[in-house]
Amino acid sequence: MIIPFNDLPVATLNNLIESFILREGTDYGENEFSLDEKIAHIKRQLKQGIVVIVYSQLHESVNIMPANTFSKDEI
């Protein structure tokens, strides 16, 4: 199930993104970015529709995934 990021309280969204960043060990190439910069980057991707927040009832987990993984009907 896709969760609209606008439906989440700001603190919850920030914690979710921070958890994703730390779990995934995101790689930004040669440049070093602060955690706040990485959070802002993911927020921009959410606003642009590049990534979406997905809840898996089966696994009882939340993840951030590329939007192109899903059909338009699912988003």
What is the Cα Rg of the chain in Å?
13
Segment 9-32 mean pLDDT:
83
Distance CA 8, CA 33 (A): 25
Segment 65-75 mean pLDDT:
80
Q: What is the mean pLDDT of the chain?
A: 88
Please tell me which residue, 63 or 70, carries the higher pLDDT value: 63
Burial class (CB in 10 A: 0-12, 13-18, 19+), 38: middle
User: Can you say whether the dihedral through the CA atoms of 27, 28, 32, 34 is positive or negative?
Assistant: negative
SS3 category, 55: strand
DSSP H/E element including 64: strand 61-66
Model confidence at 26: pLDDT above 70: no
Domains and CATH numbers, the chain: 2-69 (1.10.10.610)
Segment 36-51 mean pLDDT:
95
Q: What is the pTM of this model?
A: 0.82
